[in-house]
């Protein structure tokens, strides 16, 4: 079996849910660069993460067809973290220490990222994290290729406050009960208060992962929105809990014209799982939509659907974030001439790669990237019609300007600062700085 055939066999086995490195001849294994894929393929987050595993296999196959990296083929090593965050940390360690991967692409939730982060720091390996998150973090070994709050949550609220967005005055901040929604809503609550919204016009609600009984909560939202002020729901609900949430909105007749929902974790993949008819008009804020008409996106969609063997498979924002992260990692490895983590960290800052909306993603010194911000309206086919977008890309902020405790912090992993939470007032690093 030649390398190309072996790669195809491994990819097919992985897509079927099992990974067998025996698909590679022994010599070929020594000549490959291993890439870890750390996603939930079962449990509550599988609805969102399974397609990201497939995306990485797709990107790896494409790169191998171009000749690989540094003259070597890339070998995917897939694990299922099963929506179990302690397990994610164990499997991250296995990928790095046992499988000896050179970089890992994975996680969806912030609790997953925070669970594995100490492992990457201890073992000095690389994690490319592809999903929007709450900010308030910058770690030397992590590259945040999804949106930070100033690239998603804040622009979404600004839009809803505007006349075009309905001049919303009352706000329901509904989220899953973990760090991303909690911190994002802390930022949003302060932002709303700073913009003159009364405390009694802000309702905050949290539910566990996989929550399924939404009848009472949706009733409360309806009551909150019936007091004469335009009301909107800002949703940081994650995973498969979105399906019964939106279904209950439809059951109770909560229409977008009355109480619009803007979601940060619902995209094309999640919408493909249920009838979207009652959801038409509700919104999502992302940095990419499948419906964007650019040559780059058209080419990506065609290649993805050919790889996956279905014209029905959709694309979404975290897939684009994996594309951006993967391309920047490849460029950094080629620039450094090695997969060594320290060399890649030094090489990657300032590198650029095209995004799928016609702009450029640039890796910043804070390990975040530049991204456009788009707000889309759900259509009856499960796609999004873009109703608003930024004029240009927005640099990702690691630390929020709207929280007093972090407004003075910045992250910069280049000399002379080399720090993820540098205090611009005291001129000191508040955490672990890079070795000088």
pLDDT, mean of residues 32-57: 96
Residue 246 shares a structural domain with residue 381: yes
Residue 144 shares a structural domain with residue 155: no
The more confident residue out of 72 and 28 is 72
pLDDT, mean of residues 136-164: 97
pLDDT band at 30 (very low <50, low <70, confident <90, very high): low
Residues 273-288 as b/e (b if ≥16 CB within 10 A, e otherwise) read ebebebbebbbbbbbb
Residue 405 lies in a domain: no
Residue 91 shares a structural domain with residue 193: no
Residue 111 CB contacts under 8 Å (≥ 6 apart), including other chains: 85, 178, 179, 180
Residue 427 lies in a domain: no
pLDDT band at 277 (very low <50, low <70, confident <90, very high): confident
What CATH number did the domain enclosing 250 receive?
3.40.50.2300
- pLDDT score recorded for residue 432: 52
- Give phi and psi for 359, each to the nearest 5: -110, -165
- pLDDT score recorded for residue 22: 32
Residue 203 shares a structural domain with residue 184: yes
Residue 300 shares a structural domain with residue 204: no
- pLDDT score recorded for residue 46: 95
pLDDT tens-digit series, residues 201-238: 999 999 999 999 999 999 999 999 999 999 999 999 98
- Distance CA(111)–CA(117), nearest Å, equals 10
Other beta carbons less than 10 A from residue 338's beta carbon? 15
| Cβ(320)–Cβ(354) below 8 Å | no
- pLDDT score recorded for residue 5: 41
Residue 17 shares a structural domain with residue 113: yes
Residue 216 shares a structural domain with residue 331: no
Residue 72 shares a structural domain with residue 162: no
Residue 256 lies in a domain: yes
% of the chain at pLDDT higher than 70: 92
Residue 60 shares a structural domain with residue 162: no
Secondary structure (DSSP) of 279-333:
GTT-EEEES--TT---HHHHHHHHHHHHHHT-TT----HHHHHHHHHHHHHHHHH
Which range of residues forms the domain containing residue 191? 150-292+375-395
- pLDDT score recorded for residue 431: 65
pLDDT tens-digit series, residues 381-432: 999 999 999 999 999 999 999 999 999 999 999 999 999 999 999 999 986 5
Residue 39 shares a structural domain with residue 120: yes
- pLDDT score recorded for residue 272: 85
- Distance CA(152)–CA(181), nearest Å, equals 13
Domain total for the chain?
A: 2
Residue with tokens 């989220």: 175
Residue 14 lies in a domain: yes
Residue 199 shares a structural domain with residue 262: yes
Residue 228 lies in a domain: yes
Residue 420 lies in a domain: no
pTM for the complete prediction? 0.89
pLDDT band at 3 (very low <50, low <70, confident <90, very high): very low
Residue 160 lies in a domain: yes
Residue 175 shares a structural domain with residue 287: yes
- pLDDT score recorded for residue 20: 35
Residue 47 lies in a domain: yes
pLDDT tens-digit series, residues 350-369: 999 999 999 999 999 999 99
């Amino acid at each position: 079996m030649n390398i190309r055939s072996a790669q195809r066999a491994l990819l097919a086995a992985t897509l079927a849910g099992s990974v067998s490195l025996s698909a590679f001849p022994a010599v070929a294994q020594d000549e490959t660069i291993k890439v870890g894929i750390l996603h939930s393929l079962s449990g509550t987050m599988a609805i969102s993460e399974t397609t990201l595993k497939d995306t990485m296999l797709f990107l790896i196959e494409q790169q191998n067809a171009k000749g690989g990296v540094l003259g070597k083929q890339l070998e995917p090593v897939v694990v299922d973290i099963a929506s179990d965050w302690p397990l994610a940390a164990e499997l991250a360690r296995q990928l790095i220490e046992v499988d000896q991967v050179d970089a890992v692409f994975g996680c969806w939730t912030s609790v997953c990222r925070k669970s594995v982060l100490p492992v990457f720091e201890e073992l000095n390996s690389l994690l490319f994290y592809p999903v929007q998150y709450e900010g308030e973090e910058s770690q030397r070994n992590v590259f945040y290729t999804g949106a930070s709050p100033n690239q998603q949550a804040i622009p979404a609220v600004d839009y809803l406050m505007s006349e075009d967005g309905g001049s919303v005055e009352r706000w329901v901040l509904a989220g899953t009960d973990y760090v991303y929604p909690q911190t994002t809503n802390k930022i949003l609550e302060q932002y709303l208060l700073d913009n003159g919204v009364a405390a009694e016009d802000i309702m905050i609600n949290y539910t566990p992962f996989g929550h399924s009984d939404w009848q009472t909560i949706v009733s409360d939202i309806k009551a909150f929105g019936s007091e004469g002020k335009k009301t909107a729901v800002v949703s940081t609900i994650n995973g498969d809990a979105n399906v019964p949430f939106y279904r209950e909105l439809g059951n109770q007749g909560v229409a977008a014209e009355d109480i619009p929902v803007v979601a940060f974790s619902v995209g094309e993949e999640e919408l493909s799982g249920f009838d979207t008819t009652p959801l038409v008009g509700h919104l999502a804020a992302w940095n990419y939509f499948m419906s964007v008409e650019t040559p780059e996106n058209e080419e990506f969609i065609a290649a993805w659907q050919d790889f996956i063997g279905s014209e029905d498979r959709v694309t979404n924002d975290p897939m684009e974030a994996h594309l951006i992260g993967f391309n920047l990692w490849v460029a950094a490895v080629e620039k450094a001439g090695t997969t060594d983590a320290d060399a890649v960290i030094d090489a990657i800052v300032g590198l650029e790669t095209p995004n799928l909306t016609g702009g450029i993603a640039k890796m910043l010194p804070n390990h975040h990237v530049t991204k456009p911000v788009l707000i889309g309206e759900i259509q009856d086919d499960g796609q999004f019609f873009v109703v608003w977008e930024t004029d240009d890309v927005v640099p990702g902020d690691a630390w929020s300007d709207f929280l007093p405790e972090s407004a003075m912090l910045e992250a910069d992993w280049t000399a002379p600062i080399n720090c993820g939470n540098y205090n611009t007032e005291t001129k000191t690093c508040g955490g672990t700085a890079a070795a000088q």
